[in-house]
Structure 1
Amino acid sequence: MPKVRSIFISDLHLGTRACQAERLLDFLKETPADHLYLVGDIIDFWAMGRSIAWSPAQNTVVQKILRRARHGEQVVFIPGNHDEALREYVGVAFGDIRVESEWIHETADGRRFLLVHGDEFDQVTRYHRWVAVIGDVAYNALVRLNGWLSWVRRRLGRPGYWSLAGYAKRKVKSALQFIFDFEDAVIRHARARGLDGVVCGHIHWAAIKQVDGLTYVNCGDWVDSCTAIIEHFDGRLELLAWGSPFRPPADAPVALPAPVLQPSPVAARSAEGGVASDEAPGFYPSHPEGAA
């Protein structure tokens, strides 16, 4: 890919078997940028408290990010709930990587976006941590099951990829309602601060959409959907699915912000609510209805 102005990624969950480190490393190698924003849940201390699955590829991802920072790329890390221990170091720089609780990013076309992980808008994660931990364990089991299902599909010669997490989310009405409530809460906060939009993560549901005149952007994840948001040098934002099974779903539109964007090479069509295909991105249900 040609160089882009900014990259926004979240929910890598390094330290777990679910992390798609090889695809992430390929994306980082092939996508140079001036700014790299790590929007939370980069390292999964919750899962590592139970067991550690740290692969050589995950270690290389960390080294790659550190190298980009050393070579002059601005790297900002905003901890999420799974790496909340690092919130104690807000305002500190580690190897030229700044740790911040939030960040205001101004796009090339002058729009100002609030960058937050998003767990502060999830009432279950904030006030019922034990429920979130149970959801975390259940999600890890779901990811392992999905791996076996993918192997069976390949053996049967079935094309494409079927996301068990995405299927579950589309079928559970309460999970979808949680997503809508989460988006509304984040947008209301950005509006109250006089900003043009927000970039977040947390719910593992990649999106770029207009909500009441503001732009809502969710980075998705590198566990199931392998999605990232990039900013071009004219300020356009684009949702990318990098060498992953995810294709934006036809029945789950993701709207594009003004100015009108060209759809991602992987993200298919755009409509008045968004970009879509036949598989939805996965989610991280540490909330019983679908939040991380």
Structure 2
Amino acid sequence: MKTIYYPSIWISDLHLGYKDCKADYLLDFLNRTNCDVLYLVGDIVDLWSMKRQFYWEPSHYKVLECIQAKAESGTRVIYIPGNHDETFRHYVGRSLFNVEVHRTFIHTTSAGKRFLLLHGDDFDSATRYNKLISIAGDAGYDFLLFLNRWTNRIRRIYGGHYWSLASWIKNRVHKAKEAIAAFEAAAIHEAKKQGVDGIICGHIHQPALKVSDGIVYCNDGDWIENCTALVENKDGRIELLHWSDIQHVLHTVELARPPENKASQAA
């Protein structure tokens, strides 16, 4: 199997242990990519869901096994626990099975741009619609995922590819759009406050890659609805990838390299 190399990859909101986790697509992504650094930006295992009802498919174990194999074979794996796996925040500053656990992290791209990494539940209090931001486990969201599940079963029967009905509906609900905008504004404000060039987060299951008010806002999405990941290319570009039946680039941001100084140019 031919693999694609990226210096850095970001994934979050896998929600292993939840019935709507798209573990098969995720496994395909992990097996067909390799990187120097793999960032796990929270909600990797859905402890909230497993407390309500235990659910664990063999494919979910294979995802963890694949991540562990990468960590043991030289990939630096950095884990930033989210709200659904917040138990692991007790291990911040330590290493678990060759996986580093951090509360937040600063990533510097090959273009010299600094990005703040965090899960994103820090911004719940900054949004006016807290329940919409804490969507996983919410009854309304569960119903959207139920519709999503059956819509895609019918689409497969007729030869259609995976498509997120849940995301389509959410993007057309006015209050949900307001909550997403408030979350993004809070994230951008935090990036400016910390003096970084951009921010990378997850949490709201809303993949995005854009420049706003001079800050590069990146949300790597999820593996419940959208099946998305962020990657950094060798030339410094950051891309948002969709990975299900058909893989394609959703968005790209070019990050200009800093100019060389006169001494290096003379050399």
- 1:95 Cα deviation (Å)? 0.8
Report the Cα distance in structure 1 between the residues aligned to 2:248 and 2:32, rounded to whole angstroms: 20
Report the Cα distance in structure 2 between the residues aligned to 1:106 and 1:136, rounded to whole angstroms: 35
Partner of residue 183, structure 1:
184
Deviations 1:196-220 (A, max 9, x none): 0000000111111001111000000
Partner of residue 220, structure 1:
221
TM-score (norm 2): 0.87
Report the Cα distance in structure 1 between the residues aligned to 2:215 and 2:103, rounded to whole angstroms: 22
Q: 1:90 is aligned with what amino acid?
A: V
- 1:234 Cα deviation (Å)? 2.0
Q: 2:199 is aligned with what amino acid?
A: V
Partner of residue 51, structure 2:
49
Deviations 1:203-262 (A, max 9, x none): 11111100111100000001111100011122210111112479788xxxx6735449xx
Partner of residue 209, structure 2:
208
2:9 touches 2:37 (CA, 8 Å); kept in 1?
yes
In the alignment, structure 1 segments of 5+ residues that lack a partner are 261-292
Larger radius of gyration: 2
> Secondary structure of the residue that 1:5 maps to in structure 2?
strand
Report the Cα distance in structure 2 between the residues aligned to 1:245 and 1:128, rounded to whole angstroms: 33
Partner of residue 29, structure 1:
31
Q: 1:148 is aligned with what amino acid?
A: W
Q: Does 1:59 align with 2:61?
A: yes
Report the Cα distance in structure 2 between the residues aligned to 1:222 and 1:204, rounded to whole angstroms: 8
Q: Does 1:236 align with 2:245?
A: no
Of the three residues 105, 110, 113, the one matched with 2:107 is 105
1:161 touches 1:246 (CA, 8 Å); kept in 2?
no
Partner of residue 171, structure 1:
172
Partner of residue 18, structure 1:
20
Instruction: Name the one with the larger strand percent.
Output: 2
- 1:141 Cα deviation (Å)? 3.3
> Secondary structure of the residue that 1:229 maps to in structure 2?
strand
Q: Does 1:256 align with 2:257?
A: no
Partner of residue 260, structure 2:
none
Bigger Cα displacement from structure 2, 137-146 vs 211-220: 137-146
Identity, % of aligned pairs? Answer: 45
1:208 touches 1:257 (CA, 8 Å); kept in 2?
no
Report the Cα distance in structure 2 between the residues aligned to 1:30 and 1:42, rounded to whole angstroms: 19
> Secondary structure of the residue that 2:4 maps to in structure 1?
coil
- Pairwise CA RMSD: 2.7
Q: 1:173 is aligned with what amino acid?
A: H
Q: Quickly say closer, same or farther: Cα 1:32–1:150, change in 2 above 3 A.
A: same
Report the Cα distance in structure 2 between the residues aligned to 1:133 and 1:162, rounded to whole angstroms: 19
Report how many aligned residue pairs link the two structures.
Answer: 255
TM-score (norm 1): 0.80
Deviations 1:29-49 (A, max 9, x none): 110100000001101011011
- 1:86 Cα deviation (Å)? 1.0
Partner of residue 285, structure 1:
none
1:8 touches 1:36 (CA, 8 Å); kept in 2?
yes
Deviations 1:145-185 (A, max 9, x none): 32112223344x37344422122212211111111111111
> Secondary structure of the residue that 2:225 maps to in structure 1?
coil
Deviations 1:40-68 (A, max 9, x none): 11010110111122111110110111111
In the alignment, structure 2 segments of 5+ residues that lack a partner are 258-267
Q: Quickly say closer, same or farther: Cα 1:211–1:133, change in 2 above 3 A.
A: closer
Report the Cα distance in structure 2 between the residues aligned to 1:220 and 1:158, rounded to whole angstroms: 26
Partner of residue 275, structure 1:
none
Instruction: List, as ranges, runs of 4+ consecutive aligned residues in structure 1 with deviation greater than 4 Å.
Output: 131-135, 244-249
